[in-house]
């Protein structure tokens, strides 16, 4: 196994597991992937939920930890998240693991080796910080890897990676340009009576719809709730699925599928506050600063047309 690139067998699950009764049923669901230890983003999401006319169910679908290497942020993130529906991502899985997977990201080949090594180093430091909280580690390790949710008449899968692996990349923006992956997705949705999937993991958002005969399938990947997702921005994204339309100006992009509003919702967190905490934990020269500071300040080289599949994005590390 190559740490950071390999996908352990215990990350795998059968696509047939989604052909089950819904684990979560609600009028509105927020799917919150890639919070990455951003406390101001968490506070903003809670405020967005409070402003909804009907209280939404919050599903944190993994990697809510990452930059929160200080005790206060680690506690604040995990104490709040564990009060809601939560799935573990590769970060939560590897906090107390000894499986040789490094960060557990299962990075594809186009990600530079140096980026992979820095992610492994971030994981090692976070593991050290987490050891002071054995009860939280135990709670995180017991979280499921996936869920089935129902909103209105729609059923959809909620995963961290894709429909076969906790760290799968087949729901990445580039993966959904591959006809083989689209056919695979459609078959899983037909077999499980699903309209689609909500995911994250790949750290860049995508929202794609596919029509097969008289059925429409979708994947909505929110990218990162706790980091910018588009060039020259400083806000995160979450996925909102609801029988109620989003308020005016609430959605970045979206569609109505099977009578359900499916939207990417901006998370306008206190960027200055987050940057200060980030640099205190990860000063210049640290692995996280090297890999992420430019994105946190300026956003990635990525835009909404890439997310919507209108333009194929270059194969670069998110």
> Domain extents for the chain?
14-307
* Neighbour tally for 210: CB within 10 Å: 18
248: Cα within 13 Å, side-chain hemisphere: 0
pLDDT score, position 251: 95
Q: 289: which residues sit within 8 A by CB, 6+ positions away?
A: 278, 279, 282, 283
* Neighbour tally for 249: CB within 10 Å: 7
Residue 81 gets the label, from left (phi > 0), alpha (psi -120 to 50) or beta, of: alpha
- 243 token code pair: 């029988």
Q: Which residue has the tokens 């037909």?
A: 190
Helices (H), the chain: 39-51, 71-81, 90-94, 113-130, 134-141, 179-192, 271-281, 287-298, 304-307
pLDDT score, position 317: 47
pLDDT values of the chain reduced to their tens digit, one per residue, 318 residues: 688 998 889 999 999 999 999 999 999 999 999 999 999 999 999 999 999 999 999 999 999 999 999 999 999 999 999 999 999 999 999 998 877 889 999 999 889 999 999 999 999 999 999 999 999 999 999 999 999 999 999 999 999 999 999 999 999 999 999 999 999 999 999 999 999 999 999 999 999 999 987 889 999 999 999 999 999 999 999 999 999 999 998 999 999 999 999 999 999 999 999 999 999 999 999 999 999 999 999 999 999 999 999 988 876 545
Is the model's pTM score more than 0.85? Answer: yes
pLDDT score, position 316: 54
Radius of gyration of the chain (CA): 18
pLDDT score, position 40: 98
- CATH number of the 14-307 domain: 3.60.21.10
Cβ burial of 238 (10 Å; 0-12, 13-18, 19+) is: buried
């Amino acid at each position: 196994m190559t740490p950071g690139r390999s996908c352990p067998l215990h990350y795998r699950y059968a696509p047939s597991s989604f052909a089950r009764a819904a684990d979560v049923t609600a009028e509105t669901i927020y799917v919150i992937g890639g919070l990455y230890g951003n406390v101001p983003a968490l506070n903003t999401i809670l405020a967005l939920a409070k402003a909804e006319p009907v209280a939404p169910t919050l599903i944190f679908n993994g990697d809510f930890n990452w930059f929160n290497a200080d005790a206060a942020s680690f506690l604040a993130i995990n104490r709040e998240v564990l009060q809601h529906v939560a799935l573990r991502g590769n970060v939560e899985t590897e906090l107390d693991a000894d499986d040789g997977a490094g960060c557990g990201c299962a990075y594809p080949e186009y990600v530079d080796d140096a980026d992979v090594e820095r992610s492994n180093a971030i994981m090692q430091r976070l593991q050290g910080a987490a050891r002071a909280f054995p009860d939280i580690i135990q709670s995180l390790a017991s979280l499921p890897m996936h869920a089935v949710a129902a909103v209105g008449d729609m059923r959809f899968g909620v995963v961290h990676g894709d429909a076969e692996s906790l760290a799968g990349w087949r729901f990445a923006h580039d993966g959904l340009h591959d006809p083989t992956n689209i056919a695979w997705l459609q078959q899983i949705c037909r077999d499980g009576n699903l309209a689609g999937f909500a995911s994250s993991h790949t750290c860049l958002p995508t929202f794609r719809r596919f029509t097969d005969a008289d059925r429409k399938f979708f994947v909505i990947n929110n990218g990162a709730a706790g980091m910018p997702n588009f060039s020259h921005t400083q806000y995160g994204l979450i996925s909102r699925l609801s029988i109620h339309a989003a308020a005016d100006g609430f959605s970045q992009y979206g569609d109505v599928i099977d009578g359900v509003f499916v939207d990417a919702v901006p998370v306008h967190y206190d960027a200055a506050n987050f940057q200060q905490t980030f640099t205190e934990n990860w000063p210049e020269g640290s692995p996280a600063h090297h890999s992420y500071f430019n994105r946190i300040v300026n956003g990635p080289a990525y835009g909404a047309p890439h997310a919507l599949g209108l333009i194929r994005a270059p194969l670069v590390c998110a």
